[in-house]
Amino acid sequence: MKKEGASAKTKFFKPQTRKSFITYAMVIVAFVVMQILSSGGYISSMLTGLLVPLCVYSILAVSLNLTVGILGELSLGQAGFMCVGAYTSAIFSIVTSETIENVWIRFPLAILIGGIIAAVFGILIGIPVLRLKGDYLAIVTLAFGEIIKNVFAALYLGYDSKGVHVSLKSLSNLNLEPDGKLILNGPQGISGTPNDSTFIIGAVMLLITLIIAYNFVYSRTGRAVMAIRDNVIAAESVGLNITKYKLVTFALTAFLAGCAGALYSHNFYTLQASKFDYNLSILILVFVVLGGIGSIRGSVIAAIVLVLLPEMLRSINSYRMLIYSIVLIVMMIITSNEKTKTFISANTAKFKALFKREKVKEAE
Amino acid sequence: MAMLEINDLHVNYGMIAALKGISFEVNEGEVISLIGANGAGKTTTLHTLTGLISAKSGSIKFNGVELTKTPAHKIVEMGIAHVPEGRRIFQNLTVLDNLKLGAFTRKDKENIPKDIQDIYERFPRLAERKNQIAGTLSGGEQQMLAMGRALMSRPKIVVMDEPSMGLSPILVSTIFKIIEDIRKSGTTVLLVEQNAKKALAISDRAYVLETGKIVLSGKASDLINDESVKKAYLGE
């Protein structure tokens, strides 16, 4: 009886729907478990501090996977878009912290603004850059990411009774009145961002990101984007507007990265632009590659594992990076080598069969 | 007026002139072949026609509308479908997704499921493999999929680039039979082929290309008996 019910269920859902719902369920279960553990006081303060960054990195990995896995183009500008989102949302929150008292209105607005402005940057950069392919695209996006970071690191911004003051030179050039409010202090970054980010908001954002990503991949647009990835000439010959779909994907990636940036900046009181350097972009690319290019669930898992791993290994401090890099190499071999793949899948099949037999015995 | 009129078309790849002023026309309901050796400019002609590369000068008129300045995705909407050389199906998508993408530019979404059924009737092998990843199909099946995908846009004219390339003799005959079927259903066909014998056998008229110029043209039945064609392309 039980078996029939299960098979009816699998027929009822399309395979892709099932795939996405398993991922949503995983995120919800992980959230509930962490929530219970932290309310019971079972997790360390270090791990509590990592909860929001975990959500941020997962969102970044999922969004980059849309460009790298679905569109098939290598982009290394993720940190730059994140920087745009982080800064613009933080500026918005600081400016409106007195006028909009309610966090539940102000923070979603800040996230949305961070995302939209990052998407605008994505489109502006995408128009010239997406004509390039492969390595060239990677290099140019890397450069744009660095430019964005450096411009924000040189920016001074404040406001007083006379209005808004902007300078790219120095604090004294800003001519701010003594009672004026300084928002951006050049290389020292933003300070005074309200700490609005919580684990709940992070988890909800991650869930929304996953819903957007899955619906994008399985939509008509997603199919068109994958067609472009598979064969540009064929895609053009069936009448796809290549530039349009590339830009849409790039902008969506930038939008989600901007939202993640907003979540990130509202987790700290102060934030420097130097945090958004190319190492961060490459770190996110590592999550995507290790999670499996094109696998959205894999991106989330890889992001979580690779963020937690160095922290978990803190106790064996001097060997920490050694073990971390060994894990990276082993995961790379497992995910890229055909032989290891078939070996693993054969063994998991055996394991599953064993498990099933036991279940049948139990039922009997 | 001819359906497709190409007039004094010049195309360059950088400094190299690939097409040096070719002119030809295709009437509605015809099967026209472009034959010629490697490097004659056959594929270049098709790619210029479908907007994948741009012309240096000259004109391409489709039902009176100029195509040389129209982007590729608009040309498909106007009713020209392209079966590219070497199949070029979407390797990582399913057969069904490939067919759906063929209908991407269509506005009448409600008729698409029926057309997919029609394609399955025409190519029963595709129906058997509809949920299979296209990259796992055999060469012949991939060619059928590429043709089916092109027909999904309900084209007025189908442009085919070497559909018989790399296929076994039996499959080549099947593919040519399909081309005849397509023509019978009322679609015009512009065919580029190296297999001149087979191509001429099913065509109404043909043009012979040599290093970017049309050197011969006429009824296919006449060309097939032409001495120079026989010598150069039919291996007799």
Task: Give the model's pLDDT for residue A8.
Answer: 43
B91 contacts on A by Cβ (under 8 Å): 230-231
Q: For residues A59 and A259, is the Cβ–Cβ distance under 8 A? A: yes
Q: For residues B21 and B58, is the Cβ–Cβ distance under 8 A? A: yes
Q: Residue B84 and residue A235: Cβ atoms within 8 Å?
A: no
DSSP assignment of B156-201, as one string?
SEEEEE-TTTT--HHHHHHHHHHHHHHHHTT-EEEEEES-HHHHHH
Q: Residue B73 and residue A231: Cβ atoms within 8 Å?
A: no
Banded pLDDT at A172 (limits 50, 70, 90):
confident
Domain ranges across chain B = 4-234
**A225 to each of A245, A324, B35, how far by Cα in Å?**
6, 34, 35
**B191 to each of A71, A163, A251, B158, B225, how far by Cα in Å?**
32, 69, 40, 8, 20
Which stretch of A206-220, A278-292, B174-188, B218-232 has the lowest confidence by average pLDDT? B218-232
B92 contacts on A by Cβ (under 8 Å): 226, 229-230
A227 contacts on B by Cβ (under 8 Å): 90, 93, 101
Task: Give the model's pLDDT for residue A1.
Answer: 38
Task: Give the model's pLDDT for residue A360.
Answer: 61
CATH code linked to domain A2-277: 1.10.3470
**Chain-wide mean pLDDT for chain A?**
87
What is the CATH class of B4-234? alpha beta
Q: For residue B155, give how far its alpha carbon lies from the nearest alpha carbon of chain A (Å).
A: 11
Banded pLDDT at A362 (limits 50, 70, 90):
low
Q: Residue A234 and residue B50: Cβ atoms within 8 Å?
A: no
Q: What is the DSSP letter of A179?
A: T
Helix (H, G, I), strand (E, B) or coil at B213: strand
**Mean pLDDT computed over A317-346:** 79
Most A CBs within 10 A among B46, B47, B52, B73, hence the mutation to make, goes to B73
Q: How many CB pairs below 8 Å do chains A and B form together?
A: 71
What are residue B32's DSSP bridge partners? B190, B205
Task: Give the model's pLDDT for residue A208.
Answer: 97
Which stretch of A206-210, A244-248, B226-230 has the lowest confidence by average pLDDT? B226-230
Q: For residue B183, give how far its alpha carbon lies from the nearest alpha carbon of chain A (Å).
A: 20
Task: Give the model's pLDDT for residue A6.
Answer: 44
B153 contacts on A by Cβ (under 8 Å): 238-239
Rounded to an integer, what distance in angstroms lies between the CA atom of residue A51 and that of residue A53? Answer: 6
Q: Residue B92 and residue A239: Cβ atoms within 8 Å?
A: no
User: A73-125: per-residue pLDDT in tens?
Assistant: 999 999 999 999 999 999 999 989 888 888 889 999 999 999 999 999 999 99
Look at phi and psi of residue B82 and say left if phi exceeds 0, alpha if psi is from -120 to 50, else beta.
beta
Q: Residue A223 and residue B93: Cβ atoms within 8 Å?
A: yes
Rounded to an integer, what distance in angstroms lies between the CA atom of residue A128 and that of residue B172? Answer: 44
% of chain A residues with pLDDT over 70? 94
Tokens describing residue A313:
């290994």
The torsion angles phi and psi of A139, rounded to 5 degrees, stand at -65, -45
Tokens describing residue A347:
């063994």
Q: For residues A287 and A279, is the Cβ–Cβ distance under 8 A? A: no
Q: Residue A238 and residue B76: Cβ atoms within 8 Å?
A: yes
* Rg from Cα positions in chain A: 23
Collect all residues from A whose CB is shorter than 8 A from any CB in B: 220, 223-224, 226-227, 229-231, 233-242
DSSP assignment of A39-54, as one string?
HTT-S-HHHHHHHHHH
Between residues A350 and A188, which one has the greater pLDDT?
A188
Q: Residue B104 and residue A241: Cβ atoms within 8 Å?
A: no
**Mean pLDDT computed over A194-223:** 94
pTM attached to this predicted model: 0.87
Distance, CA of A121 to chain centre: 17
Rounded to an integer, what distance in angstroms lies between the CA atom of residue B49 and that of residue B55? Answer: 9
**A97 to each of A117, A157, B80, how far by Cα in Å?**
20, 17, 58
Q: For residue B186, give how far its alpha carbon lies from the nearest alpha carbon of chain A (Å).
A: 20
Q: For residues B72 and A239, is the Cβ–Cβ distance under 8 A? A: yes
Residue of A nearest to B48 (CA): A237
A247 contacts on B by Cβ (under 8 Å): none
Kind plus residue range of the DSSP H or E element containing A318:
none
Helix (H, G, I), strand (E, B) or coil at A320: helix
Q: For residue B203, give how far its alpha carbon lies from the nearest alpha carbon of chain A (Å).
A: 24
Rounded to an integer, what distance in angstroms lies between the CA atom of residue B14 and that of residue A124? Answer: 29
b/e map B61-94, b = 16+ CB within 10 Å = bbeeeebbebebbebbebbbbbbbbbbbbbbbbb
Helix (H, G, I), strand (E, B) or coil at A149: helix
A226 contacts on B by Cβ (under 8 Å): 90, 92-93
Task: Give the model's pLDDT for residue A361.
Answer: 61
Distant-in-sequence, close-in-space partners of A349: CB < 8 Å, separation ≥ 6? none
Closest Cβ opposite residue A234 in set B89, B97, B153: B89
Q: Is the pLDDT of residue A137 over 60?
A: yes
The total number of residues shown for chain A amounts to 364
**Mean pLDDT computed over A139-156:** 93
Spell out the per-residue pLDDT of chain B, length 236, in tens: 789 999 999 999 988 999 999 999 999 999 999 998 888 899 999 999 999 899 999 999 999 999 998 988 899 999 999 999 888 899 999 999 999 999 999 888 899 999 999 999 999 999 999 999 999 999 889 999 999 999 999 999 999 999 988 889 999 999 999 999 999 999 999 999 888 888 999 999 999 999 999 999 999 989 888 888 887 777 66
ipTM: 0.86
Tokens describing residue A58:
């997962």
User: A63-79: per-residue pLDDT in tens?
Assistant: 999 999 999 999 999 99
Rounded to an integer, what distance in angstroms lies between the CA atom of residue A136 and that of residue B126? Answer: 38
Task: Give the model's pLDDT for residue A5.
Answer: 43
Residue of A nearest to B134 (CA): A230
